[in-house]
Amino acid sequence: MTNDRLRAAMLAAGLTVEDVSSRVGPDVKTVERWIRDESRVPHRTTRHKVATLLTVDEVHLWPSLAGDVRTPPPSETELVQVYPNRSKVPPTVWSELVEGATENVDVLFYSGTFLVEQYNFLPAMRAGAAGGMRVRCCVGDETSSGVIARALEEGTTGGLEGRVQLVRRYMQEIAGLTGIEVRTHGTPLYNSIYRFDDQMLVNPHSYGSLAGQNPVLHLRRLDGGLMWENYMRSFERVWSQAVPEE
Instruction: Return the pLDDT at 210.
Output: 86
Instruction: Return the pLDDT at 74.
Output: 55
What are the structural domains, with CATH classification, of the chain?
Answer: 4-74 (1.10.260.40), 80-244 (3.30.870.10)
Instruction: Return the pLDDT at 162.
Output: 95
User: Model-level pTM?
Assistant: 0.72
Could you give the CA distance from residue 196 to residue 103 in angstroms, rounded to a whole number?
Answer: 8
Could you give the CA distance from residue 175 to residue 125 in angstroms, rounded to a whole number?
Answer: 10
Cβ burial of 208 (10 Å; 0-12, 13-18, 19+) is: exposed
**Rounded average pLDDT over 44-64:** 86
Q: Is the pLDDT of residue 68 over 60?
A: no
- Of all residues in the chain, the percent with pLDDT exceeding 70 is 95
Instruction: Return the pLDDT at 65.
Output: 77
Could you give the CA distance from residue 91 to residue 165 in angstroms, rounded to a whole number?
Answer: 25
Instruction: Return the pLDDT at 69.
Output: 43
